[in-house]
Amino acid sequence: MTEVENVLIQIARDASVKRLESHSGIGDLESIDMESGYNRKVHANWMSIILVSGLDVRITFKLYFNCIDVKEVVQKSMGTAVDDVTNEFTMDFIKEFCNLTAGMIQKNLATQGFHVGISLLMVTRGFDDIFYEPSSSGEVSDLWKIKIAGVSIICSATLNVINAKNLELLTLNDVAEEEDDGEIDFL
Amino acid sequence: MSSHNHDIQASHKILQLIERSKRESDSFLDTIPGIFAVINAEGDILRGNTSLADYMEVDQERLLYKNLNSVFQKEEWELFKLEIDALDSKEKGFVDFELSMTSPKGASSPHLWYLSIFDEEKTGERMFTVVGKDISDLKEAQQNLIEIFSSVPLGILTIGEGGAIQGEFSKYLEVIMGTNDIHEKKIQDFMFSEFKEITKQNQESLDGLVDAIGQNKLIYEIISEGLPKKVKIDTVGEVKWLRINYQSISYNDIVRKILLIVEDITSLVKAEELKKQNSLLEEKSVARIVQLKKVDPETFRLLFDEFNELFQKLKKAEESVYLGGVKNYLHGIKGCARVAGLDFLAELTHECESNVKENEDLISKNSDGATLTNLIFPVIEEWNELNDLSRALFQSSGTENEPSGNEKKIEDSFKGLFDQYNQLLVDEKDLHVNLMIRKVLIGMESLTKDALSSLEKFVTDTVESTCASLDKQVDLHLDWDGIYADRSTIKILKDCLLHLITNSIDHGIETSEERKLSGKTDQGNIYILVTNDISNLKVKFWDDGAGVNIERVRNIAIDKNLVTLEKGNSLNDNEVIQLIFTEGLSSAETISMTSGRGVGLSAVKEEIENLNGTIFATNYDNTLRVDVDIPLGIDQNEEKGLVDYNEFMDDFALEIKNLNSSSRGIDIEIDTALQVSSKESTFFAMKEMLLFALIELIDVYAENSKETLFISEQNSMISMRVKVSNTKNIEKYILDTCSLYLSKHSGKYQIIDNVLCIDFGFLNKKVKE
């Protein structure tokens, strides 16, 4: 993994953690690497997928989750009973989280002069991930886990660096929450 | 909103639709009945539906990376993995098999599995689609069906293409066919080849039956008409009868399989055969009873002992493999049967005779007693049946020599009375009382006597039946009116006449054609004359047949070793003729349907000689004549009645005198020749009885007139003529009082123009020196 790719991965990781924390309102969370030797093809029952794409880079951000687990987070976030948290509500929670994460990545890159757009979000079965084919041989992926409220949400970022030279000056730019104006530019 | 945003919204909408569609599709997979899963090569569940989750008792989202082996026993999982491994070799790309799943609680349920390879090219990893269907209900239904199959005593099977036995078959089929090697067998070899005695049409239909599978059902319908429905098979050495029902199983009018339902009806067939046999036996028994019923009981009783004797001799001859004896006795049995009217026995014996003759050489050479026994067995068996039946039918009569119970009582009573009256007779001196006692005794005695005319039906029937069997015509002439004899004598006479008649018709009297050629009348004639004197019953029997062929009888007797050659050649004609009374002599040289009896006449001769009687045959005027004398025995009354002739006439004259002087006004004249008769001293039998009879006759029945009562004596016979007024009463009187006397002494009477003429017959009895 190149330096640029490393930075990009860090940006994605950072965004996922910060957004989940702010979205859930649960401060006690951490991002950890997957276990050594982890080689599963299907990471969870559900998968949320969103694309952040510009002239120089494409980032596919995926969230892998089980509703049954996310309900714990939602319940804690909302302060309601677990039984009151429906699958639909859980799905919405994740979708929002995914969107926010993609937005933060976009913001981060934008502040460093790299303009990217965000695709529409789609939630599908985690099993469908086995049909994913890399678009090019230069793709790089990272898989991490966010542990929150005793459950884990697996995230992945797949990078396709189109113009690495342009991105040489890219750094992990710590985007403050308040700088996030909530607007999202769609692709 | 900018167009860019519109595009975004539109795309968002599309995405939502796609998402929903995807969700529905996933939901469809999730909720399909049965188990659905996608697993990797290790068995980890990558995708599973709600059924699987329910079976594993986990939330569906928790299925991910659970191993499918958790729902199998260890051994079953090994089999499952083998099926996975075998997928590569399967051309069709999938496998299906049965294997039980085990729930976390340990409940096992049979499942039908369907495994296929999941799009390895796209996924880059070896994964498999697993579909499982709980077939517990099906298995239960199958088990129930098997239980039904096992319990129902029918062989149920289906045959498919090529005639192979397919699928399940009833357990009982193994019992029927005597083997458990059934599955996938070709029906032609397994069952059809075992069918015995089937028609050509049946065989052709069976050949076409297998070919009908896969064809239009019309072809089957045509073939099925000729299929055997009831067949005999021989399996493991046991003969069985089967009833078979055939049914086609068709789809879209094409026969896919044929169902056979096989029922073992051996016991039913055997029961039917037994019933048929019993019916035949019953028919035979009925036929026997009908025959026996037709037989004159007296005839049968007469022949009964002879049958028994013949059969005993037959059995002895059979045991010693004495062929000559066997043939003779069979011949005799046939004759008796023919006379008795036992046609079936006669035919059976004739058939037996033929069989013995056919196998004569074999039996003689090998002293083959077993063959001989088998040959004559049917005759013996038939006689045993007849014997038993006859005892039942003729039971009340007892044997011919012993009267029935009632008759015995009567005879015993009579004897008691007889003895009493005889004692009175001795003690009573008064003439009239004495006469009355004698009258009573005579009356009693008459009850134990029978007229010989009582044999008329018997001899007539004998002539008729013998003629019928021999196709001859014979007239019978009887002269025995007024002759009486006691029953034992009549029995002997009956026996004697039976054999004389049958021998006469069989061997003496010619056929109509032969008689015509000889210038004789078509019909033959048999004459029987019976007379008696004081002491003997005399029977004269003759016919107008061909007589006895002296040389033929001589030769037969020599051939049969009844006499030596030297002795045979030395006999004169009369001596040769007497040989007809020798046991074993039969003139029948060939076995035919005529009766030739070699034992009858000899037995008769024996009986007569046992009574000190005689039987003598002569060729009289080229016809056979047989004279038989049967002693009657000395009557006690006669003993007591023996008086001197002259004394009698003195007494008689005295009585007449008393009558003449009585108020009756009868003038009786006695032939003076009587009075002066000076015969040598002779004895009258029953003088008092005769006197009484005469006096009473005159006293009661003579007309009151001066008609002369003429009594004369000629050739030792006394006759009397008296005019009587009431002829009817006269006849009755004579029958009541004089008939016995007249019969014993060859007396007779007649009434002409109201004049009674009585011939008192032989009055003399020579004194025994």
- How many angstroms from the chain centroid is the CA of residue A35? 19
Question: For position B286, what pLDDT does the model report?
Answer: 74
A104: β partners = none
SS (H, E, C) chain A: CCHHHHHHHHHHHHHHHHHHHHHHCCCCEEEEECCCCCCCCCCCCEEEEEEEEECCEEEEEEEEECHHHHHHHHHHHHCCCHHHCCHHHHHHHHHHHHHHHHHHHHHHHHHCCCCEEECCCEEEEHHHHHHCCCCCCCCEEEEEEEEECCEEEEEEEEEEECCCHHHCCCCCCCCCHHHCCCCCCEC
**pLDDT at position B90, please?**
67
SS3 A141: strand
A45 contacts in chain B (CB < 8 Å): 60-61, 64
DSSP B590: S
Q: CB–CB of B15 and A66 under 8 A?
A: no
B8 touches chain A (CB under 8 A): yes
Element (H, E) at A34: none
Closest residue on chain B to A131 (Cα)? B123
Q: Which residues have C-beta within 8 Å of that of residue B26, sequence separation ≥ 6?
A: A125
Specify the DSSP element, H or E, that contains B25: helix B3-31
Question: Which residues in A lie closer than 8 A to residue B3 (C-beta atoms)?
Answer: none
Calculate the alpha carbon distances from B479 to A76, B461, B511, B538, B589 in Å.
Answer: 148, 17, 25, 12, 35
Cβ-based contacts of B40 with chain A (< 8 Å)? 41
Q: Do A41 and B59 touch (CB under 8 A)?
A: no
Per-residue model confidence (pLDDT) at position B330: 87
Q: Are strands B524-532 and B614-620 parallel, antiparallel or unpaired?
A: unpaired
Q: What is the pLDDT of residue B51?
A: 93
Measure CB to CB from residue B65 to each of A40, A120, A125 and give the nearest one: A40
**CB B61 to CB A66 under 8 A?**
yes
Asked if residues B156 and B259 have their Cβ atoms less than 8 Å apart, the reply is yes
pTM equals 0.46
Residue B708 has a pLDDT of 46
Instruction: For the beta carbon of residue B268, count every other beta carbon within 10 angstroms.
Output: 12
Residues in chain A with CB shorter than 8 Å from the CB of B8 are 120, 186-187
| Interface contact B567, partner A, CB < 8 A | no
**Cα distance between residue B231 and residue B242, in whole Å:** 5
pLDDT for res B432: 54
Facing residues of B98 across strands? Answer: B112
- Average pLDDT on A46-74 reads 92
Chain B residues close to A40, C-beta within 8 Å: 65
Instruction: Find tokens 């009493």 and name the residue.
Output: B420
> B8 and A120: CB-CB below 8 Å?
yes
The two three-digit tokens of residue B435, written as one number: 């006469």
Taking contacts as CB-CB distances below 8 angstroms, the residues of chain A near B47 are 42, 125, 127
Contact across the interface for A126 and B22, Cβ inside 8 Å:
no
Question: What integer pLDDT is reported at residue A16 of this predicted model?
Answer: 94
What are the mean pLDDT values of chain B's consecutive 10-residue runs (769 residues total)? 73 84 88 91 92 92 93 92 83 84 89 87 79 91 78 88 86 86 87 84 89 92 92 83 93 92 92 85 75 72 79 86 84 83 86 88 76 88 83 56 54 65 66 60 63 87 87 91 78 84 88 89 92 79 88 87 89 88 61 44 82 86 86 51 56 65 55 43 45 62 52 56 64 64 68 70 42
What the block records as the tokens of B110 is 């049979």
pLDDT value at position B556?
A: 86
Closest CA to B543 of B606, B621, B608, B656: B621
pLDDT at position B92 is 67
Interface of B with A in 75-134 (CB under 8 A): 122-123, 125, 127
Average pLDDT over residues A115-143: 85
DSSP-derived 3-state class of residue B194: helix
Q: Order of strands, edge to edge, in the sheet holding B748-752? A: B668-670, B709-714, B717-723, B755-762, B748-752
Collapse the DSSP code of B522 into the 3-class scheme (helix H, G, I; strand E, B; otherwise coil) and give the result. Answer: coil
Q: According to DSSP H, which parts of B621-678 are helical?
A: 636-641, 645-660, 672-675
Chain A residues in contact with B26 (beta carbon < 8 A): 125
Residue with tokens 């009297």: B509
Q: In degrees, to the nearest 5, what angle opens at C-alpha B338 toward C-alphas B337 and B344?
A: 65
Q: What is the pLDDT of residue B134?
A: 92
Give the dihedral of Cα atoms B283, B287, B292, B295; nearest 10 deg: 170
Instruction: Quote the minimal CA–CA distance from A114 to chain B in Å.
Output: 20
Identity of the residue in A41, A67, A122 whose CB atom sits nearest the CB atom of B46: A41
Task: Give the pLDDT score at B540.
Answer: 92
CB B513 within 8 A of CB B473: no
Residue B24 in contact with partner chain A when CB distance is under 8 A: no
Question: A–B: how many Cβ contacts below 8 A?
Answer: 49
Spell out which chain A residues touch chain B, with contact meaning CB-CB distance below 8 angstroms: 40-42, 44-45, 66-69, 120-127, 130-131, 186-187
Determine, for residues B47 and A42 on separate chains, whether the beta-carbon distance falls below 8 Å.
yes
pLDDT score, position B417: 66
Which H helix or E strand runs over B150?
A: helix B136-151
Is B60's CB within 8 Å of A45's CB? Answer: yes
Contact (CB<8Å) B15/A122: yes
Distance CA A96, CA A98 (A): 5
> C-alpha distances in angstroms, B364 versus B10, B167, B351, B372, B748?
124, 65, 19, 10, 61
Rg of the Cα atoms in chain A: 16
